[in-house]
Structure 1
Amino acid sequence: MDVSAITMYMQDKVPSQGLLLLQDKLKVASQEKLQSIALIPLKNPLIGLILGVLFGGFGVDRFYKGDVILGIAKLVLTIIGWMTVLIVIGYIFLIIVFVWVIADFFLVYKGIKQDNLNKIIQILA
């Protein structure tokens, strides 16, 4: 397996500063480790971002990332917000969810990249 091909494949799936670290580790890695790295199912951060834009209030982006508890919390907060919107307090919940969704655009995108990097480093260790 070619190190440059693996690096190109991982280019948009890991943080840019982590890519430099990986290049050095991949150059000295055994062929067996390179093959196992090529088979790792890495998540696409762009899919996490799209899920956040389309279904962020329902926690789908967090479920995709693997943060199930945070996904459930976001979903429950959204449901409570919509159920109590008639008694003004629901708007407070929905504003909280809205701010959380906007923050998650960045947090989930970067978090998926970091999770991918951690998976690869774990195999290389």
Structure 2
Amino acid sequence: MNDKTNMLLMSFSKYFPEECLMMIREKFENMDESKTSMLYTLSFKDPMTALILSIVAGPLGIDRFYIGDTGLGLAKLLTCGGCGIWTLVDYFLIMKRVKEKNFERFLTFM
């Protein structure tokens, strides 16, 4: 493990699911310098911001629009958050979903 890998992992670990961190570490170690600098330009969605959006404007689907789930955001908007049930479920699941979406974005970058 080198310092570059540790620094990248510390910088980006909050954006990814914990079960994927070992695979991300391996990818970081095998990454060349040009990809490393490009990785810093990628914008990952913050799970805490998504949770705050879910709490404040959950029934409007703003949290789903934020993470890029446009179809689900529209469905949530039209059903007023699934009559409140979907909104309550998202309070607990939205952070995990954001991390999964960030991981998908990372894999397409690689």
Distance (whole Å) between structure 1 residues aligned to residue 68 and residue 27 of structure 2: 26
Normalising by structure 2, we get a TM-score of 0.88
Unmatched runs of 5 consecutive residues or more in structure 1: 79-93
Runs ≥4 in structure 1, deviation > 3 angstroms? none
Q: Which amino acid aligns with 2:23?
A: L
Q: TM-score, normalised by structure 1?
A: 0.79
> More relative contact order in 1 or in 2 (CA 8 Å, sep 6+)?
1
Alignment match, 1:110: 96
Q: Does 1:121 align with 2:104?
A: no
Q: Cα offset for 1:75?
A: 1.3
Inter-partner Cα distance in structure 1 for 2:108 and 2:61 = 28
1:21-78 per-position Cα deviation (integer Å, ceiling 9, x unaligned): 1011110111111111121100001100110011101111111111112111111112
Would you say 1:21 and 2:23 are equivalent positions? Answer: yes
Matches within 5 A, 1:83-102: 96-102=82-88
After superposition, the CA RMSD in angstroms is 1.7
Structure 1 stretch displaced more, 42-51 or 68-77: 68-77
The answer on 1:46 being equivalent to 2:48 is: yes
Kindly tell me the number of residue pairs found equivalent between the two proteins.
108
Q: Match of 1:52, as an amino acid?
A: S
Q: Distance in 1 between matches of 2:102 and 2:94?
A: 12
The structural deviation recorded for 1:108 is 2.1
